[in-house]
Chain A
């Protein structure tokens, strides 16, 4: 197969950057999107040019490292699929393919297609954990969890933190990601203990990083490779409002309303 690629090239964070056109020829329909880019990069290297920088790690859809905004959609045209799991047979022969980095003020471009997603780490550090004292290993099943809660929590926990929700959102809002993390822990007894504190802390951190406000367009749900549902955002809003209205005032920290 042959393709015309329009790829965002940007030397570094302060470079202005722009789209550069490349021809990709002799591409197998069974090669993955990244194998196609690898092939292109080999040609660039042979010519002594700088290869296209893009993020990837597991290449099996579980780590959340890959990104790419392909023809106006994060992770490309296939529903419920990460870019690393996308194959060239999903495109028409001869198609022009636009490849851009995630766009969000909180995700600055580092080089070419790579963005800095540490804003997500900052949000997780604010409360996306359960505090456990070290010691002996507790017996399994000492804390019963209803099957339905376990399943719902697991669906939320499937979020791989890729940031496609932010990339697709017209407002660059991180509500699906934060909603998934808040829900995943709030649904389990181990996470319940710190739930009120967690949701306030994570939302305050999210707000401080410059993500947009949710306006319920649901582009995130449509584009999430793990098909995280927007019911998780509603659950976060419920948790948040309940915490604001009913939670005890905390001694050390005060949260904005």
Chain B
């Protein structure tokens, strides 16, 4: 190990940790989407509030929440770390723009990831900080009343636009991410890889589309 720095984790292990954290987030998104879609039920928010209360009080979920934050943190730390190392590995860059064919949007994972991160920060301020009491809820809405909080936010066209853009980029991220994660953990085989790629795209469309349906629904039908 002469020419460059010694490292504590090999490149492959680092990427596998990142991919596993990413796949964990992929599962979490499905749960989150399932609960959010209850917002569309025409029951004055009973189903949604029930689910939100369960998520806010169940002890198992409380522990899962810590794991979730850990998952995001690990994924982002490795993502940024890997991206920095990758940039350094080509100190002198080409004069001509690369014309090589690549997997769609795979070169922009850091960019789409950062946009998702910005959205996450807003999301935290809007919901989590209010829930834990760091930020005061808007007038007339109780701290744990996510239903009316959501309705109020979606009534704001600007907020809905930011929300839609955030999820559009999450969709771009996921389209490449899910199939890439399988490749990273070594699950690429001519027998099933085409299936995984289709699954990755469908997952991205369903999750991004699912979340985006909610503000669109409020704009169009309420």
A residues within 8 Å of B by Cβ?
6, 8, 19, 69, 71-74, 77, 98, 100, 103-106, 109, 168, 170-173, 203-204, 206-219, 222-223, 230-231, 233-238, 240-241, 244, 255-257
Are B90 and A103 touching (Cβ within 8 A)? Answer: yes
B residues within 8 Å of A by Cβ?
1-4, 6-16, 82, 85-86, 88-103, 106-107, 109, 176, 179-180, 183-190, 193
Cβ 8 A contact of A170, one of B12, B107, B183: B107
Are A257 and B8 touching (Cβ within 8 A)? Answer: yes
Given the interface pairs A215-B106, A234-B189, the reply to whether A256 lies near B10 with Cβ below 8 Å is yes
Residues of A near B89 (CB, < 8 A) are 104-106, 171-173, 210-212
Residues of B near A71 (CB, < 8 A) are 96, 99
Are B85 and A213 touching (Cβ within 8 A)? Answer: yes
Cβ 8 A contact of A222, one of B11, B12, B14, B102: B102
26 A-B interface contacts by CB (under 8 A): A19-B95, A69-B96, A72-B96, A72-B100, A103-B90, A103-B92, A104-B90, A105-B91, A106-B3, A168-B100, A170-B98, A172-B89, A203-B12, A204-B1, A208-B6, A212-B86, A212-B89, A219-B100, A222-B100, A231-B189, A233-B183, A234-B183, A241-B185, A244-B13, A256-B9, A257-B10
Expressed in whole angstroms, the Cα–Cα distance for A109 and B14 within the complex equals 30
Residues of A near B8 (CB, < 8 A) are 256-257
Cβ 8 A contact of A207, one of B11, B98, B106: B11
Residues of B near A208 (CB, < 8 A) are 1-4, 6-7
Are B98 and A72 touching (Cβ within 8 A)? Answer: yes
Expressed in whole angstroms, the Cα–Cα distance for A173 and B88 within the complex equals 11
Are A237 and B186 touching (Cβ within 8 A)? Answer: yes
Expressed in whole angstroms, the Cα–Cα distance for A230 and B85 within the complex equals 21
Closest to B13 in A: A257
Closest to A200 in B: B10
Cβ 8 A contact of A100, one of B96, B109, B185, B187: B96
Closest to A219 in B: B100
Expressed in whole angstroms, the Cα–Cα distance for A186 and B97 within the complex equals 37
Q: Assuming A209-B3, A212-B90, what are 8 further A-B pairs, CB within 8 angstroms?
A: A103-B92, A170-B86, A173-B86, A204-B1, A211-B89, A213-B14, A214-B11, A240-B12
Are A217 and B13 touching (Cβ within 8 A)? Answer: no
Expressed in whole angstroms, the Cα–Cα distance for A71 and B98 within the complex equals 8
- Report the 8 A-B pairs with minimum CB-CB distance, sorted nearest first: A238-B186, A234-B188, A72-B99, A171-B86, A212-B89, A216-B180, A237-B186, A212-B86
Closest to B189 in A: A231
- Report A227 CB to chain B, min CB distance, Å: 13
